[in-house]
């Protein structure tokens, strides 16, 4: 059931009524294609949250379209609540509306994968910890598989998952979680928005073709691009953001896949896993289940002490950021 103005934390039985006036805005912590994320405190409980502000855009002269948008929003909120059962997905707390914005309250994490890898590469001369890369791949694959098998939230219905470094979050408890897998795309109310520059670089070739059918393996491509970017510290397609849209589309759809070559830093199993995600032909690209059978996945999924290892790496990056700001 879709209810706004209600806030519930997973470890607490009580449900709180709330509005914008019950929150203290502590400033922006990020901005994406569809809205900005602020750190906020719920005054009654003192709990901190990541609150995504998304502007609701609809045609004022089309009540039918407005109703359809709200129906889709209800469906998406229900899906997000169900997805919160997955340890690899950011927990949804509730939402409210304020001055034309939908405020989506989510679990607050400590750093995005994008900020993490940039900080590490800037201070270690291009070396990102291979074990962290492995744990990221394991966590995101588990999240994607959960969304497919448990709540059927894959693009066949919603079509707006955005697997990219800025949408993968980590914290000091050693968690790695996927966030931003839907709600904002519906509020914007425009299919074209899913091709916005912030998401386009990570989209599979078939998704950039207007009439191409969606397949879960499109997200496998996005994962491969993400992992290679994190490993190398640069986006896999050279000078991608310097090019016009048409050239970008040509690069991805008709150019060669950005295969990762032999590395002195990363093992063969890591390079093979990343490259297996970047097969241009959809039918030849592995799905989630096939990736989870690969040596790379099984190895990193079986390691002990993962949370502590990830937490220490996150702390290292946060310390480096603080030193840079002094």
pLDDT single digits (tens) 247-272: 877 888 888 999 998 888 999 999 99
According to the model, what pLDDT value does residue 66 have? 59
Greater confidence (162 vs 199) lies with 162
pLDDT band at 157 (very low <50, low <70, confident <90, very high): very low
According to the model, what pLDDT value does residue 194 have? 40
Read off φ and ψ for residue 27, nearest 5 degrees: 105, 165
For 30-87, how does the pLDDT look when each residue is reduced to its tens digit (9 = 90+)? 765 556 789 999 999 999 999 988 776 555 555 565 566 666 667 667 777 778 788 9
Per the DSSP assignment, residues forming a β-bridge with 211 are none
Greater confidence (153 vs 322) lies with 322
Q: Which residues contact 206 (CB under 8 A, 6 or more apart)?
A: 212, 213, 214, 215, 218, 282
Domains parsed from the chain with CATH numbers: 8-106 (3.30.200.20), 111-314 (1.10.510.10)
According to the model, what pLDDT value does residue 186 have? 40
Secondary structure (3-state) at 67: helix
According to the model, what pLDDT value does residue 155 have? 42
According to the model, what pLDDT value does residue 307 have? 98
Greater confidence (220 vs 13) lies with 220
Pairwise CA distance, residues 132 & 116, whole Å: 11
Greater confidence (123 vs 46) lies with 46
Judge contact between 171 and 179, C-beta under 8 A: no
What average pLDDT is seen over the chain?
Answer: 83
Is the pLDDT assigned to residue 89 strictly greater than 70? Answer: yes
Single out the residue of 152, 34, 139, 49 nearest to residue 91, CA to CA. 49
Mean pLDDT calculated for residue range 1-5: 68
Is the pLDDT assigned to residue 227 strictly greater than 80? Answer: yes
Mean pLDDT calculated for residue range 150-178: 76
According to the model, what pLDDT value does residue 272 have? 97
Mean pLDDT calculated for residue range 126-149: 93
pLDDT band at 148 (very low <50, low <70, confident <90, very high): confident
Q: Which residues contact 119 (CB under 8 A, 6 or more apart)?
A: 317, 320, 321, 324
Judge contact between 224 and 274, C-beta under 8 A: yes
Is the pLDDT assigned to residue 7 strictly greater than 60? Answer: yes
According to the model, what pLDDT value does residue 190 have? 34
Say what the pTM is.
0.87
According to the model, what pLDDT value does residue 77 have? 72
Pairwise CA distance, residues 304 & 319, whole Å: 25
Percentage with pLDDT > 70 across the chain:
79
pLDDT band at 305 (very low <50, low <70, confident <90, very high): very high
Mean pLDDT calculated for residue range 151-175: 74
């Amino acid at each position: 059931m879709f209810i706004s103005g209600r806030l519930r934390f997973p470890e607490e039985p009580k449900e709180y009524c709330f509005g914008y006036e019950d929150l203290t805005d502590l400033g922006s912590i990020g901005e994406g294609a569809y809205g900005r994320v602020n750190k906020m405190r719920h005054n009654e409980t003192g709990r901190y949250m990541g609150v995504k502000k998304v502007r609701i855009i609809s045609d004022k002269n089309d009540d039918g379209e407005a109703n359809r948008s709200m129906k889709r929003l209800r469906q998406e909120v229900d899906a997000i609540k169900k997805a919160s059962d997955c340890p690899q997905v950011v927990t949804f707390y509730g939402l409210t509306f304020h001055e034309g914005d939908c405020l989506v309250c989510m679990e607050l994490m400590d750093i995005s994968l994008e900020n993490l890898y940039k900080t590490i590469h800037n201070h270690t001369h291009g070396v990102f910890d291979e074990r962290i890369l492995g744990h990221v791949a394991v966590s995101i694959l588990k999240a994607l598989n959960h969304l497919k098998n448990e709540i059927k939230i894959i693009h066949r219905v919603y079509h707006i998952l955005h697997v990219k470094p800025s949408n993968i979050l980590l914290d000091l408890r050693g968690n790695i979680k996927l966030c931003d897998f839907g709600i904002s795309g519906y509020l914007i109310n425009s299919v074209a928005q899913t091709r916005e520059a912030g998401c386009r670089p990570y989209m599979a070739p078939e998704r950039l073709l207007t009439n191409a059918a969606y397949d879960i393996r499109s997200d496998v491509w996005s994962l491969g691009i993400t992992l290679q970017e994190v490993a190398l510290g640069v986006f896999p397609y050279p000078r991608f953001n310097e090019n016009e849209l048409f050239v970008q589309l040509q690069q991805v759809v008709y150019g060669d896949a950005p295969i990762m070559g032999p590395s002195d830093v990363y093992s063969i199993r890591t390079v093979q896993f990343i490259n297996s995600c970047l097969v241009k032909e959809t039918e030849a690209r592995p799905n989630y289940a096939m990736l989870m059978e690969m040596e790379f996945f099984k190895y990193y999924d079986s390691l002990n002490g993962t949370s502590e290892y990830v937490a220490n790496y996150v702390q290292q990056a946060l310390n480096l950021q603080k030193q840079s700001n002094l």
